[in-house]
Structure 1
Amino acid sequence: MENLVLADFDSFSNVEVYETTVIKDAKSLSKFYAGINKTRKPGLPVPIVDFSKEMAILVCLGEQKGKTKPVLSKLNETEDELVIALEIMVEIEEETTIQPTYFPFYLYKLPLVDKVITLQKIDR
Protein backbone atom coordinates (compact mmCIF):
# COMPACT_ATOMS: atom_id res chain seq x y z
CA MET A 1 0.00 0.00 0.00
CA GLU A 2 1.45 3.34 -0.99
CA ASN A 3 1.79 6.03 1.70
CA LEU A 4 1.78 3.35 4.42
CA VAL A 5 4.95 3.42 6.52
CA LEU A 6 5.97 0.93 9.20
CA ALA A 7 6.75 3.15 12.19
CA ASP A 8 7.50 0.48 14.81
CA PHE A 9 7.20 -3.22 15.54
CA ASP A 10 8.25 -5.66 18.20
CA SER A 11 7.84 -9.40 18.76
CA PHE A 12 6.53 -9.03 22.28
CA SER A 13 3.54 -7.01 23.46
CA ASN A 14 1.12 -7.67 26.27
CA VAL A 15 -1.75 -8.15 23.81
CA GLU A 16 -2.73 -11.82 23.78
CA VAL A 17 -5.47 -11.73 21.11
CA TYR A 18 -5.66 -10.35 17.58
CA GLU A 19 -6.81 -6.74 17.46
CA THR A 20 -6.45 -3.68 15.25
CA THR A 21 -6.89 -0.04 16.20
CA VAL A 22 -6.87 3.20 14.26
CA ILE A 23 -5.10 5.85 16.36
CA LYS A 24 -5.78 9.52 15.65
CA ASP A 25 -4.28 11.20 18.74
CA ALA A 26 -1.04 11.21 20.72
CA LYS A 27 -2.76 10.32 24.00
CA SER A 28 -4.04 6.98 22.65
CA LEU A 29 -0.64 6.13 21.21
CA SER A 30 1.10 6.96 24.49
CA LYS A 31 -1.44 4.84 26.39
CA PHE A 32 -0.63 1.79 24.25
CA TYR A 33 3.12 2.24 24.76
CA ALA A 34 2.63 2.75 28.52
CA GLY A 35 0.88 -0.63 28.59
CA ILE A 36 3.57 -2.56 26.71
CA ASN A 37 6.38 -0.79 28.58
CA LYS A 38 5.12 -1.91 32.02
CA THR A 39 7.37 -4.97 31.88
CA ARG A 40 10.31 -3.42 30.01
CA LYS A 41 13.29 -1.57 31.40
CA PRO A 42 14.06 0.55 29.48
CA GLY A 43 10.78 0.78 27.61
CA LEU A 44 10.27 1.21 23.90
CA PRO A 45 10.21 4.86 22.80
CA VAL A 46 6.89 6.18 21.49
CA PRO A 47 7.25 6.80 17.73
CA ILE A 48 6.78 10.36 16.52
CA VAL A 49 3.52 10.79 14.63
CA ASP A 50 2.33 14.23 13.51
CA PHE A 51 -1.39 13.72 14.18
CA SER A 52 -2.24 16.99 12.40
CA LYS A 53 -1.17 15.31 9.13
CA GLU A 54 -0.96 11.59 9.91
CA MET A 55 -2.81 8.78 11.62
CA ALA A 56 -1.63 5.40 12.85
CA ILE A 57 -2.86 1.86 12.46
CA LEU A 58 -1.93 -0.53 15.24
CA VAL A 59 -1.98 -4.24 14.43
CA CYS A 60 -1.55 -6.66 17.34
CA LEU A 61 -1.38 -10.24 16.08
CA GLY A 62 -1.97 -11.91 19.43
CA GLU A 63 -0.31 -15.23 20.21
CA GLN A 64 1.71 -16.54 17.27
CA LYS A 65 3.77 -19.72 17.00
CA GLY A 66 6.92 -18.82 15.08
CA LYS A 67 7.63 -15.53 13.34
CA THR A 68 4.84 -13.88 11.36
CA LYS A 69 4.27 -10.50 9.80
CA PRO A 70 1.21 -8.72 8.46
CA VAL A 71 0.89 -7.61 4.87
CA LEU A 72 -1.54 -4.73 4.33
CA SER A 73 -3.11 -3.84 1.02
CA LYS A 74 -5.94 -1.60 -0.12
CA LEU A 75 -9.03 -3.73 -0.76
CA ASN A 76 -11.59 -1.04 -1.55
CA GLU A 77 -11.92 2.72 -1.25
CA THR A 78 -15.07 4.83 -1.45
CA GLU A 79 -15.81 8.44 -0.51
CA ASP A 80 -16.62 7.39 3.06
CA GLU A 81 -14.59 4.26 3.72
CA LEU A 82 -11.14 2.75 3.18
CA VAL A 83 -11.04 -1.04 3.48
CA ILE A 84 -7.59 -2.50 4.12
CA ALA A 85 -6.89 -6.21 3.74
CA LEU A 86 -4.59 -7.69 6.37
CA GLU A 87 -2.95 -11.01 5.61
CA ILE A 88 -0.66 -12.70 8.12
CA MET A 89 2.39 -14.20 6.45
CA VAL A 90 4.49 -16.87 8.17
CA GLU A 91 8.25 -16.40 7.94
CA ILE A 92 9.91 -19.68 7.08
CA GLU A 93 12.45 -20.72 9.70
CA GLU A 94 14.65 -23.75 9.94
CA GLU A 95 12.69 -26.79 10.94
CA THR A 96 12.54 -27.09 14.70
CA THR A 97 10.43 -29.25 16.91
CA ILE A 98 9.49 -26.37 19.21
CA GLN A 99 8.23 -23.09 17.78
CA PRO A 100 8.71 -20.06 20.04
CA THR A 101 5.62 -18.07 20.98
CA TYR A 102 5.45 -14.39 20.06
CA PHE A 103 2.91 -11.63 20.70
CA PRO A 104 3.91 -9.17 17.94
CA PHE A 105 2.60 -5.70 17.22
CA TYR A 106 3.08 -3.45 14.20
CA LEU A 107 2.46 0.30 14.06
CA TYR A 108 1.90 1.88 10.64
CA LYS A 109 1.63 5.57 9.75
CA LEU A 110 -0.42 6.90 6.87
CA PRO A 111 -1.66 10.32 5.79
CA LEU A 112 -4.70 11.56 7.68
CA VAL A 113 -7.95 10.76 5.85
CA ASP A 114 -11.49 11.69 6.78
CA LYS A 115 -12.85 8.20 6.12
CA VAL A 116 -13.81 5.20 8.16
CA ILE A 117 -10.86 2.78 8.15
CA THR A 118 -11.81 -0.90 8.19
CA LEU A 119 -9.23 -3.66 8.49
CA GLN A 120 -10.36 -6.98 7.10
CA LYS A 121 -8.32 -10.04 8.10
CA ILE A 122 -7.69 -12.44 5.23
CA ASP A 123 -7.28 -16.07 6.30
CA ARG A 124 -5.55 -18.49 3.96
Structure 2
Amino acid sequence: MHNFKQLKVWQKSVDLAVDTYLLTKNFPPEEKYSLTQQINRSAVSIPSNIAGGAGRNNSKEFNNFLGIAAGSSCELETQLIIAHRIGMINSNDSESIISQLSEIQKMIFKLQQSLPI
Protein backbone atom coordinates (compact mmCIF):
# COMPACT_ATOMS: atom_id res chain seq x y z
CA MET A 1 0.00 0.00 0.00
CA HIS A 2 1.35 3.39 -1.04
CA ASN A 3 0.74 6.72 0.67
CA PHE A 4 -0.98 8.39 -2.28
CA LYS A 5 -0.63 11.88 -0.79
CA GLN A 6 3.15 11.60 -1.12
CA LEU A 7 3.02 10.66 -4.79
CA LYS A 8 3.99 13.64 -6.97
CA VAL A 9 1.72 12.39 -9.74
CA TRP A 10 -1.25 12.46 -7.37
CA GLN A 11 -0.34 15.97 -6.15
CA LYS A 12 -0.01 17.28 -9.71
CA SER A 13 -3.23 15.64 -10.82
CA VAL A 14 -5.13 17.23 -7.92
CA ASP A 15 -3.71 20.60 -9.03
CA LEU A 16 -4.85 19.85 -12.58
CA ALA A 17 -8.36 19.00 -11.40
CA VAL A 18 -8.57 22.29 -9.50
CA ASP A 19 -7.33 24.17 -12.58
CA THR A 20 -9.93 22.52 -14.82
CA TYR A 21 -12.71 23.42 -12.39
CA LEU A 22 -11.55 27.03 -12.42
CA LEU A 23 -11.35 26.97 -16.22
CA THR A 24 -14.82 25.52 -16.71
CA LYS A 25 -16.40 28.13 -14.42
CA ASN A 26 -16.32 30.43 -17.44
CA PHE A 27 -18.05 27.99 -19.79
CA PRO A 28 -21.52 28.91 -21.06
CA PRO A 29 -24.40 27.85 -18.79
CA GLU A 30 -25.85 25.63 -21.52
CA GLU A 31 -22.71 23.47 -21.27
CA LYS A 32 -23.19 22.79 -17.55
CA TYR A 33 -24.52 19.27 -18.07
CA SER A 34 -22.43 18.31 -21.06
CA LEU A 35 -18.84 19.29 -21.79
CA THR A 36 -18.30 21.10 -18.47
CA GLN A 37 -19.40 18.07 -16.49
CA GLN A 38 -17.40 15.65 -18.65
CA ILE A 39 -14.22 17.70 -18.29
CA ASN A 40 -14.56 17.97 -14.54
CA ARG A 41 -15.36 14.27 -14.11
CA SER A 42 -12.38 13.21 -16.20
CA ALA A 43 -10.09 15.57 -14.30
CA VAL A 44 -11.26 14.30 -10.89
CA SER A 45 -11.02 10.70 -12.06
CA ILE A 46 -7.24 10.94 -12.51
CA PRO A 47 -6.19 11.60 -8.88
CA SER A 48 -9.12 9.53 -7.60
CA ASN A 49 -7.93 6.43 -9.43
CA ILE A 50 -4.32 7.01 -8.40
CA ALA A 51 -5.47 7.19 -4.78
CA GLY A 52 -7.79 4.22 -5.17
CA GLY A 53 -5.04 2.10 -6.67
CA ALA A 54 -2.53 3.13 -4.02
CA GLY A 55 -4.88 1.78 -1.39
CA ARG A 56 -5.13 -1.65 -2.98
CA ASN A 57 -3.45 -4.80 -1.78
CA ASN A 58 -0.87 -5.36 -4.48
CA SER A 59 1.02 -3.82 -7.38
CA LYS A 60 -1.11 -5.56 -10.00
CA GLU A 61 -4.25 -3.85 -8.69
CA PHE A 62 -2.41 -0.52 -8.38
CA ASN A 63 -1.23 -0.85 -11.98
CA ASN A 64 -4.81 -1.46 -13.12
CA PHE A 65 -6.02 1.72 -11.41
CA LEU A 66 -3.12 3.66 -12.92
CA GLY A 67 -4.31 2.42 -16.31
CA ILE A 68 -7.76 3.78 -15.58
CA ALA A 69 -6.21 7.12 -14.54
CA ALA A 70 -4.26 7.17 -17.80
CA GLY A 71 -7.47 6.51 -19.73
CA SER A 72 -9.19 9.37 -17.92
CA SER A 73 -6.28 11.63 -18.82
CA CYS A 74 -6.76 10.79 -22.51
CA GLU A 75 -10.48 11.49 -22.21
CA LEU A 76 -9.71 14.83 -20.58
CA GLU A 77 -7.22 15.73 -23.30
CA THR A 78 -9.81 14.96 -25.98
CA GLN A 79 -12.46 17.06 -24.22
CA LEU A 80 -10.04 19.98 -23.86
CA ILE A 81 -9.15 19.81 -27.56
CA ILE A 82 -12.83 19.89 -28.45
CA ALA A 83 -13.48 22.80 -26.06
CA HIS A 84 -10.59 24.70 -27.64
CA ARG A 85 -11.73 24.00 -31.19
CA ILE A 86 -15.24 25.27 -30.52
CA GLY A 87 -13.88 28.42 -28.85
CA MET A 88 -14.66 27.70 -25.21
CA ILE A 89 -10.98 27.70 -24.21
CA ASN A 90 -8.38 30.11 -25.54
CA SER A 91 -5.02 28.86 -26.85
CA ASN A 92 -3.02 29.88 -23.79
CA ASP A 93 -5.31 28.07 -21.35
CA SER A 94 -5.53 25.04 -23.61
CA GLU A 95 -1.75 24.78 -23.98
CA SER A 96 -1.18 25.27 -20.26
CA ILE A 97 -3.64 22.59 -19.16
CA ILE A 98 -2.57 20.12 -21.85
CA SER A 99 1.07 20.66 -20.88
CA GLN A 100 0.25 19.78 -17.27
CA LEU A 101 -1.72 16.79 -18.49
CA SER A 102 1.14 15.56 -20.67
CA GLU A 103 3.50 15.65 -17.70
CA ILE A 104 0.99 13.69 -15.60
CA GLN A 105 0.56 11.10 -18.36
CA LYS A 106 4.33 10.55 -18.45
CA MET A 107 4.46 10.27 -14.67
CA ILE A 108 1.67 7.68 -14.64
CA PHE A 109 3.49 5.63 -17.27
CA LYS A 110 6.78 5.78 -15.34
CA LEU A 111 5.03 4.80 -12.12
CA GLN A 112 3.44 1.84 -13.89
CA GLN A 113 6.85 0.79 -15.23
CA SER A 114 8.36 0.94 -11.73
CA LEU A 115 5.81 -1.40 -10.15
CA PRO A 116 6.82 -5.01 -9.61
CA ILE A 117 4.26 -7.19 -11.33
- Greater relative contact order (CA < 8 Å, ≥ 6 in sequence): 1
Q: TM-score range by the shorter chain?
A: under 0.3
Greater Rg over alpha carbons, structure: 1
